[in-house]
Amino acid sequence: MGHTLVIVESPTKARTIRGFLPKDFKVEASMGHVRDLPNNASEIPAAHKGEKWANLGVNTAANFEPLYVVPKDKKKVVKELKDALKGADQLLLATDEDREGESISWHLLQLLSPKVPVKRMVFHEITKEAISRALEDTRDLDMELVHAQETRRILDRLVGYTLSPLLWKKVAWGLSAGRVQSVAVRLLVQRERARRAFRSGSYWDLKARLEQGEAGFEAKLSHLKGERIAGGSDFDESTGALKAGSKVRLLSEAEARQLQVQVQANPWQVTSVEEKPTVRKPVPPFTTSTLQQESNRKLRLSARETMRTAQGLYERGFITYMRTDSVHLSDQAINAARSCVSEKYGKDYLSPSPRQFSTKARNAQEAHEAIRPAGEAFRTPNATGLDGKDLALYELIWKRTVASQMADARLTMLAVELQADGGALGPAQFRASGKRIDFAGFFRAYVEGSDDPDAALEGQELLLPALKVGDSPACKAVEALGHQTQPPARYSEAALVKMLEKEGIGRPSTYASIIGTIVDRGYATLANNSLTPSFTAFAVTALLEEHFPDLVDTSFTARMENTLDEISHGQVQWLPYLESFFKGEKGLETQVQQREGDIDPGVSRTVELEGLPCVVRIGRFGAYLETKRVAEDGTEELLKATLPQEITPADLDAEKAELILRQKADGPESLGDDPESGEQVYLLFGQYGPYVQRGQVSDENPKPKRASLPKGAKPEELTLEDAIALLRLPRQLGDHPEGGRVEAGLGRFGPYVVHHKGKGEKDYRSLKAEDDVLVVGLDRALELFAMPKKGRGGRTALKDIGVPEGADEAIQLFDGPYGLYVKQGKVNASLPEGTTADTITLEQAVELLAAKAATGKAAARKPGAKKPAAKKPAAKAPAAKKAPSTTKTGRLRASAVRVIRAADS
């Protein structure tokens, strides 16, 4: 008797779906794409070797026919799938429900050439009910979706493989260009240019601390003599002066201090009180884009980490499909969410009627439901058995979905105007603002995050005392505050994703790989959740802006995106579009051929930044400074100096450039002699930043002692004593009371103290910002060792609750992104509502952890019991799916032909 063969993308998805199918169904994984355009010369079939278009993988002379090949690492998978098909009486293609999934199914169909009936099976969650419905409602392959994906793939290949070789010749080897990638890089560069052009403006204002009865509140100066006081938004970012035509009063420091004295000495009076009721509605459930944004803000996960984690949750049946532009919720989801609200928060917190949301994203496609917990009843986060990133992301999705069906939050915005006599400067008007939450509504479950971590969340109240017109609150203190306007912030991943979606550039499902590519290719670095473009990004963007402006223009790229979507709906023919884009007088192919001779590599590798005594050039080993100088013999010569990696385009100023060039011209700067060795101590600048060195490099001393400067240390302020002390690190601080020695040192992750316990065992602690590695003593080191090590996510325990009887480890209390929780070993459990850090007892903590352990993966297993399949690491599945684009990277640099793969962003 035959069987039904079901093919999915990944082993994890195969394991999950297998549990919901009849016994005569066999499930196999394709491990992602089984066929693609050739990635390197070795993949080109013998029949096409030597043909000019073969490396491109698209025959532009023959109706843009793509050349599809099975990569070497997929040949075994294809053979196994063909073997599995033997004896089958039906084939079900159950790849994901978006364009990519439809494309994989089509390629499978082409390769396997099945002789049995074939059906497409789609579902957006992996639950028993969803799989049963999908089996009953199979369909044929959607060829419009396949053509849409194929056109997108061909177009991206044409852009990448045509422009990238040009960049290798004109800027630097191994660079890549891409239809969406290059636009995203330009956004980063434009923001960095704005930061360079920014000029800071300064202004002063006053902040008063007042008291009415026994209740204190704050008020800020808003007007003086009827004129509004200048704030940050009133300044021109390019001049640092007030914007032309601004009708505001710019308060000087002297006036601010004079006014401070006057208003503190004179009586205050309330001149107006305003209460304005307002309603806040919950935000829609997550789409791919909003999930990436919120996960980056709240959980500090990169777009890649978010998608990898979400993929694992989907494939193990915890959430619905994670590539979607839709905010729609099914009736089943709405009912499940409303049940959660009733059970957890009570019926008062339910929205009066079910909420449905409409999708505003341009050309929304992919899956047709928002990202939400899977199933007809949502599992609460604590009942999932998940932990770490999996639990944090599931909890975020659960809360956002549940909140979407909750009642509006009702607030009252409070505004109080006060007046005080400013003496000769005239009457001063102050304003106090507050917010009262009359009914928390959905705030009980979820408050949308902000790109500014210091911004107060909407769920926090700011209450004012009961004030009425004519009241005279007592002035307790007045502070004169000086402010500097700040340059525009660099993009975080969340902000870049938001901008790309707003401009209609690319598909949200590709944002993670786009940002990953930008960082991997050296176009930007990601530090402190900020994307900082490199000098290479400046050079490449300048070249593309000058010679191929359309390809980095946001509106042009957005129009191209619209056309690709129109092709998917059959409204535009794909072949004429590709013809017009690539061929003809204005086509990309002709433009590149015509422009190549006009582009001077010397100019393309040069980054000219305003206000510098030199230029920046892109070299084989990174960016360097170059200037002309007159040598001792009167001839003019070029002077070149490597730029430290830590210096960004916005940070490089004339002072830094001159310091680096001077050192290169005059040789390393000697700070003086080391009294112990008699050798000179030098200050140098390397690719990885400033460092000190004892002695010169010579045959006798090929590796002189070196030490990096601590983060934040200014080279120009470094003394000989500091340099010698750095070179003598690690410092012996003394003996630890429990035995072993204690040292202070400086490592790749910054300054630290270490306890050498013996037998190779060491205990490290990072020094805090206020600690100096050169002066820290044993007492401070012991204080740091007494602090508990930070847990996952860099959190420090608020307190030790105690060690339960018969246990080895203490139970600790932590404050996480979703509130207080207790932890013992690898098990953690949230505190129930109403329990605080002061009221939690050891007995309660033991009960909470025992309940969590019983449902989670930490539960004790019987001897010989198998680990449940669902508990296997989620990260394995995406890795398998992405195998075609991530394997063999170590061999890419081996030949010029192979580097061409870098172009395919």
Q: How many angstroms separate the CA atoms of 169 and 597, rounded?
A: 11
How far is it, in rounded angstroms, from Cα 809 to Cα 815? 19
Residue 894 has what DSSP assignment? G
- Cβ–Cβ < 8 Å for 567, 148: yes
Residue whose tokens read 């579009």? 577
Buried b (16+ CB within 10 A) or exposed e, 716-745: eebebebbbbbbeeebebeebeeebebbbe
Q: Is 706 helix (H, G, I), strand (E, B) or coil?
A: strand
Give the C-alpha separation, 118 to 135, whole Å: 13
Q: Which two tokens stand for residue 386?
A: 């998940």
The single-letter code of the amino acid at 806 is G
Q: Coil, strand, or helix at residue 764? A: strand
- Does a cis peptide bond (omega within 30 degrees of 0) precede residue 730? yes
Instruction: Report how far residue 633's alpha carbon sits from residue 261's, in angstroms, rounded to the nearest whole number.
Output: 65
Query: For the chain, what is the radius of gyration of the CA atoms?
Result: 32
Structure tokens at 898: 């192979």
DSSP lists the bridge partners of residue 827 as 824
CA–CA gap between residue 253 and residue 260 (Å, rounded)? 10
Asked if residues 858 and 829 have their Cβ atoms less than 8 Å apart, the reply is no
669 residue type, one letter: E
Residue 581: CB atoms within 10 Å: 17
Edge-to-edge order in the sheet of strand 636-642: 606-607, 615-619, 622-630, 636-642
Cα–Cα dist 409/463, whole Å: 16
Helix (H) or strand (E) segment spanning residue 429:
strand 427-439
- Tokens 């007159």 identify what position? 630
Is 624 noted as a catalytic residue in this protein? Answer: no
Query: Within 10 Å of residue 662's Cβ, how many Cβ atoms?
Result: 13
Q: Which residues contact 426 (CB under 8 A, 6 or more apart)?
A: 224, 225, 226
Angle at 403 between CA 399 and CA 406, to 5 degrees: 150
770 closest CA partner among 790, 788, 751, 746:
751
For residues 328 and 351, give the distance between their C-alpha atoms in angstroms, rounded to a whole number. 17
* DSSP assignment string, 551-596: GG-HHHHHHHHHHHHHHHTTSS-HHHHHHHHHSSTTSHHHHHHHHH
Helix (H) or strand (E) holding 309: helix 303-315
Q: What angle do CA 780, 781, 785 make, to 5 degrees?
A: 120
CA triple 526-530-533, angle to 5 deg: 65
Residue 551 Rama label (left phi>0; alpha psi -120 to 50; beta): alpha
HSE-up of residue 302 (Cα within 13 Å, Cβ side): 18
DSSP 475-540: EEEEEEEEEE--PPPPPPHHHHHHHHHHHT-S-GGGHHHHHHHHHHTTSEEEETTEEEE-HHHHHH
Which one of the listed residues 314, 321, 624, 682 is annotated catalytic? 321
Catalytically annotated residues: 321
